Amino acid sequence: MATIAFSLPIIPGKTAAFRAAHRRFAVERRSEFEASRRRLGVTAERGYLQHTPGGDVAVVVFEVADPVRLFTGTAHSGWPIDVDFRAYLLEVFGLDAASAPPALPSEQVFEWVADDRSPP
């Protein structure tokens, strides 16, 4: 299992659409979303909103069996939810997943994990 993380600048005025994406895809279309993610090999997906002086940025973290499978499947799937997700990527980030070059994995620079993960 691989963990991949990346950031995408949000088009000005589209932050609300980024905030609404979880409900739009993972809540309102839950069974479709889960089937898509299983097919793409995703076991966890997290999205964070980072406010920066240059504008808002989405930080996305996936736990996935095969990153190439995730990006290729997202770019070329004909499943309605994946087609709609590609339209969302274009609307909110200006990212045309169908013609974008394959994403290069982020370089993990450090990791720290507490030996005892229980809260202090």
Which residues of the chain carry a pLDDT beneath 50? Answer: none
Mean residue pLDDT of the chain comes to 91
The 3 state secondary structure assigned to 58-118 is EEEEEEECCHHHHHHHHHHCCCHHHHHHHHHHHHHHCCCCCCCCCCCCCCCCCCCCCCCCC
Q: What is the pLDDT of residues 31-54, one digit of tens each?
A: 999 999 999 999 999 999 999 999
**CATH for 2-93?**
3.30.70.100
Residues 6 or more apart whose CB falls under 8 angstroms from that of 59 comprise 5, 6, 7, 47, 48, 49, 50
